[in-house]
Structure formats: structure tokens, C-alpha cells
Amino acid sequence: MKKKEIYISLYILIPVIFTGISAISSILTYQLFKQQAAFYRIFPLNFIYLIVVTAFFTLSISFLILRFFFKPLSRFISKTQKMPILAPTVKSEEQEDITHDFNQVTKLFNNVADILSNVEAKELFPHIICSSESMRNIFTRIVKVAPTDSTVLISGESGTGKELIASSIYEHSMRKSKPFVKINCVAIPEGLLESELFGHEKGSFTGAVEQKKGKFEIADKGTIFLDEIGDMPSATQAKLLRVLQEKEFERVGGTKQIHVDIRFIAATNKNLLEMIKDGKFREDLYFRLNVFSVFLPALRDRKEDIIPIANYFLESLPQRARLSTSVLQELIGYSWPGNVRELRNVLEQASILSENGVIELRHLSEELLKKKNSFNMAALGDNIALDTRLELIEKEIIVEALRKTGGIQVKAADILGINQRSLWHRIKKLQIDVDNLKNLQ
């Protein structure tokens, strides 16, 4: 049996509560003074009048205050509910006076805050495609640490976009007009890494025919990004520690102390704490680097980002293509051990193999199909909100209907069994590109 809910307008409830409190206070006061016989003989009726007047006054004032505060809020709620981006999430019966069900106000404010958070993320970080809450939380951390000179350690699996995050920190820093030098510690042979970082003097080793400035010297007053810091040789780690502590170093084969002013950002896909236990990474260097940490979640832990990232990659590829519904489901269900990098490679290969600009299951890599996971609610992960899951499913149903009708919304609405206005609202909310669907017909 469905539980029946009864809503009482706040215009009635709150004034009655305050009036009751004032009446009870007056009665208690009356009872207190009633013990004094002389006082009781002189003022019994006066106290009764006082209770009535106080109750009426409190009732009137409470109602006026509520009108003063709720009227602007009601207008805001009413206008917001009619916006195309929010209208599909609000049922027609919910669009009523907010004083009857304050839960709807809370829900609406949460939706508005979520939309504003997405807008802010797109404005501040246009090169990072995402819609998940976990990534927006990372953006908040970046905005806070970027203007400082604190050393940042970015960790996460390979392919999660650590270099993009490092670039974003630099772009929002006070040093953005100064050099930004990137160096991959695993891409440079061990024998040449020190020369790359610190530079060398002429004749310091075979092949050193002239003096050369190192990356640290070039990055003076700016920022240096040390990617794959976990692969740095132990001897170089000790010298890097000195640069972090003293802000000075010597070129290879040199004796002159060179002072620099550098902001350090490091990244790794390794577990540095485990490496410290195994004696492969210096503990003192770790604590110097890990002043401010940023952890990037794997793509499988933020599945709501898969479709926006996939669409972004497809738009940038030379051979334009779109994803079939079955492929969309497959991409969401896959675990993506290679993360965003693997997703891009899979889409590029599939776009080349696609026919008529449509990527089907047979165009996906064999490795991905071998690890096939059927699309279901469990595949989305426990940390994905119900609204996000339903949005993904709803979007694909609408896109499929629009594809069948060549982007004609009237026909698509008939297929879906909804009116055209409702379909238009949903298209706006889900950011479906109808023109693109027309072109791909």
C-alpha cells in the first residue's frame, strides 16, 4: 500500500507554530503571576487580552515575513523550472508553490548547482572533457593550488591525463607567462638524464663539445613538469632533492653553483610508498614532492565521462564517424585498463574500419571484444548516481529514435510516445546534436 503524503503550506504551518509558541509563553507568564493574589484580582482580563493580541500580532508578522522571503524565491523557482535545461527533470505536477513541498526546492537547487559546476569546469578547463563529480572535485583542488608555488604530485594510472592536469595547473598559476618545461624521466636514457636536467660543461664527457643549459636552468622563474618521476634513477633522485631544498645545482662537470626559482610538478603511475619500502625511491624526496597531491581516478571509476570523451575524439578524427547504440553500451561496460589513451586508440581504429560513418561492434578491437561486458546497471559502478545512469540510457534511446527519423523530431516523438515539446526539452537537456544526426542520415 502506497504511503499517503499530506503537505501543509508553510504559509500556514510556520505562523501557527510561532503563534502557538507566543501563546504558550503568555499563558505560562500568566500562571506565574497568578500566584500573587493581588496581581490576579487586578489584571486577569488584561492577561487574556494580552494573550489574544500577542497571538494575533505574531501570526500577522510571521505571515508578512514569510511573504517577504518566499515571494522572490518562488519567482526564481518558477522561472528556473521553465528553463529547457531543467524542465525535463521537473514533472508538471511538481511545478507548484514551493511552500507546499520544500523537498522540490532542495532538488532543484541541487540540479542548478550541478549545472553551474559543469559550466564552471568547461570555462576553466576547456581542454579537459568530463562531466563526473570526481573530476569536478579535482578541478576545485587545481584552482586552489595553482596560484601558489607549492610542489604538486599527480598520481594515477597510465592514460588518465596527468599531463593535461599539470598543464592546467600551469595555465592557472602566477607563472603562466614564464617557461613551462616538460621532461619524461623514463624516455631519456639513464646516462643522459642528469645532463638533460642539470646541463653540462664543455668537455665534461665524451661528446660534450660545448656548454649546454639543462632543463632546470631553462625553467628558471617558471614551472617544470617531471613526468614518470618513479622511474628516475636513485643517483638523480638525490640531486633532485637538493634542487628542491636549496634551489641550486651544478652542471655536469662544473663547479659553479646555479640558483633557480622553479615551481615543481611531478607525476607518476607507480605506487611510490611501495617503492620506498622496496628501497627504489627516496622517502625524503617523496615528502618533498608530495606537498599537494592530486589523484586522478581511472576511467572505469568515472564511466559517465566515457561518452563525452568518445564524442570529443570522434569529432577530432580525420574520418568522422558516430557510435551505434550497441557500441555505446559496450564502451560503458568495458573496464578500460589503458584509460583515456586506450579509448582514443580504439575509436581511431574503429573509425577507419567503419562503413557509412557508423561504428558497429565488429569494428572494435578484438582485445576489447574478448573482455566483453554486457551493459547493465552493475557495469556502471556503485559510485554512479541513479540520475546519471538513467540519463545515459535515456539519451541513447532518444538518439536512436532521431537516427531512424533522420533528425525529424515530430516523427521521433511519435516513436517515443511523447509530445514534441517534451522531446525538445530532453534534447536540450541531454545536449543532443540533432543537426549532426541529420547529416549522418
Note the maximum CA span of the chain: 115
The model's pTM is 0.64
Q: Which of the following CATH numbers is that of domain 301-439: 2.40.50.100, 3.40.1180.10, 1.10.1740.10, 1.10.8.60?
A: 1.10.8.60
pLDDT, one tens digit for every residue, the chain (441 residues): 445 555 556 666 666 666 676 666 666 666 655 555 555 555 555 666 666 666 666 767 766 766 676 666 666 666 666 655 454 444 444 444 554 555 666 666 666 556 555 555 566 777 888 878 888 889 889 989 999 999 999 999 999 999 999 999 999 999 999 999 999 998 888 878 888 899 888 877 777 778 888 899 999 999 999 999 999 998 899 999 999 999 999 888 888 899 999 999 999 999 999 999 999 999 999 999 999 999 999 998 888 888 889 988 998 888 888 888 778 878 887 889 999 999 999 999 999 998 888 898 889 887 787 665 444 444 455 455 666 667 777 877 887 788 778 778 888 888 888 888 888 888 877 767 676 555 444
* pLDDT for 167: 95
* Short-list 296, 288, 297, 295, CA closest to 150: 288
In this predicted structure, what is the pLDDT of residue 216?
A: 93
Report the chain's C-alpha Rg in angstroms. 32
What is the structure's pLDDT at 169? 95
pLDDT at residue 373, as a whole number: 46
Distance CA(267)–CA(230), nearest Å, equals 8
Strand partners, 182: 225
Task: Say if strands 199-200 and 223-227 run parallel, antiparallel, or are unpaired.
Answer: unpaired
Sign of CA dihedral 364, 365, 369, 372: negative
Amino acid 341: pLDDT: 93
CA dist 173 and 180 (Å) reads: 11
pLDDT at 261: 94
146-297 adopts what CATH topology?
Rossmann fold (3.40.50)
Q: Give residue 362's Cα distance to chain centre.
A: 33
pLDDT at residue number 376: 44
